[in-house]
Structure 1
């Protein structure tokens, strides 16, 4: 099974990038990478001052055995901010609560002042929470700027080709809450 199939079997459809876009990112964007092993798949973009983890999937048979923590620790050793998009907790989906608990256990915190809302292909809006880990004292304003870079460079990479629209214009999808 391809890494894309593994990811799309787990993540909600509206969160999955088009397979062509994901392959183009891997093949043509110098910052974007995929690391796949039997126990996990992670796709990410590494910029000079931060890392954006796009997808992290730990195989069901190895969940709860430290695999995800080891992957995150590898990124933490690079001493850069790490940013993630996480589904808000949903009482009907215990995985959402488990993911949040996992990231918080690994030192990530929710960006309380950043609202991030995108639309799926049908125009239905959905909100994701931004979680981050920082090796220094960078505040949420820095995270907001870095997330805007993610929107422009990763989410909108060849988006017109695959979706017929830019899917994450920072001024439209990111808001600062006071």
Structure 2
């Protein structure tokens, strides 16, 4: 599973799922897919009403060549809401700024009414932004409902088996900002 090592090298440790959980998702969930090329890796779940991008990695040698945009354009052609999570901008980590700029350039918006807080294995909270793209105007109520489903179906798939806890309990992780 070379793709897992590439993801593990790139994404922060607290954002990585257990290799076996991801493999179980691929093997057992009809909605969950892995696409791997020499240039990119994408793991995503396609539900009837939306697509949840779990991981998207463009390899270092392929960055800056429009490959990530092409991957997102293929997802957009499905004509569904697309959801993904991204860490907030960190002034000490240039990649966080570049990631956000990339998604905004590709038409994604931040679900600015939704607060999304996850926990590390040590119980430390960390914030994530929910970004979305939609072919039609929609309310963040829809984003919230579909993100709850992504948490339940993807993040929490066998989570108690692999982590002894839910990775993203939607009732705790997702709240409305006041």
Match of residue 26 from structure 1:
26
In 2, Cα distance between equivalents of 1:20 and 1:126: 23
Match of residue 81 from structure 2:
81
1:176 equivalent in alignment to 2:172: no
Q: CA deviation at 1:166?
A: 1.3
In 2, Cα distance between equivalents of 1:165 and 1:86: 22
Match of residue 50 from structure 1:
50
In 2, Cα distance between equivalents of 1:114 and 1:144: 7
Match of residue 37 from structure 2:
37
**Normalization by structure 1: what TM-score?**
0.98
In 1, Cα distance between equivalents of 2:29 and 2:127: 26
RMSD: 0.7
Match of residue 141 from structure 2:
141
Q: SS in structure 2 opposite 1:9?
A: helix
In 2, Cα distance between equivalents of 1:92 and 1:45: 31
In 2, Cα distance between equivalents of 1:119 and 1:159: 13
In 1, Cα distance between equivalents of 2:46 and 2:167: 21
Q: CA deviation at 1:133?
A: 0.1
**Normalization by structure 2: what TM-score?**
0.98
1:166 equivalent in alignment to 2:166: yes
- Stretches of structure 1 that go unaligned for 5 or more consecutive residues are none
Number of residue-to-residue matches in the alignment? 178
- Stretches of structure 2 that go unaligned for 5 or more consecutive residues are none
Q: SS in structure 1 opposite 2:130?
A: strand
Q: Deviations over 1:79-131 (max 9, x none)?
A: 00000100000000000000000000000000000100010100010010000
In 2, Cα distance between equivalents of 1:31 and 1:77: 17
Match of residue 153 from structure 1:
153
1:64 equivalent in alignment to 2:98: no
In 1, Cα distance between equivalents of 2:41 and 2:167: 24
Q: SS in structure 2 opposite 1:43?
A: strand
In 1, Cα distance between equivalents of 2:98 and 2:167: 28
